[in-house]
């Protein structure tokens, strides 16, 4: 049980100190995402994704339809 990472603990740590916000990632957080203001290591700042509200997605979809 000792090796299981508590996600809540990890999240708290990532707010306070130098760990990547991706749970279990051992890399140093060298980049702050401008969109979610969370620190990630170089790899994860590129590959993490955001929760998009369905409203945003719908707007984008409408824009595409309008152009065509
Ligand atoms: Zn982000
Ligand atoms: Zn990372």
- What is the token pair recorded at 25? 């990632």
Length of the chain: 68
Position 45 confidence tier, pLDDT thresholds 50, 70, 90? very high
Cα 20 to averaged position of ligand 1 atoms, centre (Å): 12
Q: Regarding predicted confidence, which is higher, 48 or 52?
A: 48
Strands 39-40 and 31-32: antiparallel
- Confidence band, pLDDT 50/70/90 cuts, at residue 62: confident
pLDDT at 57: 66
Reported in sequence order, the residue ranges of the chain that DSSP labels E, i.e. its strands, are 31-32, 39-40
How many Å lie between the centroid of ligand 2 and the Cα of residue 10? Answer: 12
CA of residue 1 to ligand 1 center, whole Å? 30
Q: How many CB atoms lie within 10 A of CB 54?
A: 7
């Amino acid at each position: 049980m000792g090796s299981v990472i508590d996600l809540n603990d990890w999240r708290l740590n990532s707010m306070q100190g130098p760990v990547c916000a991706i749970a279990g990632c051992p890399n140093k957080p060298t980049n702050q995402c401008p969109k979610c203001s969370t620190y990630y290591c170089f790899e994860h700042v590129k590959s993490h994704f955001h929760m998009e509200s369905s409203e945003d997605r719908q707007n984008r979809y409408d824009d595409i339809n309008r152009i065509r």
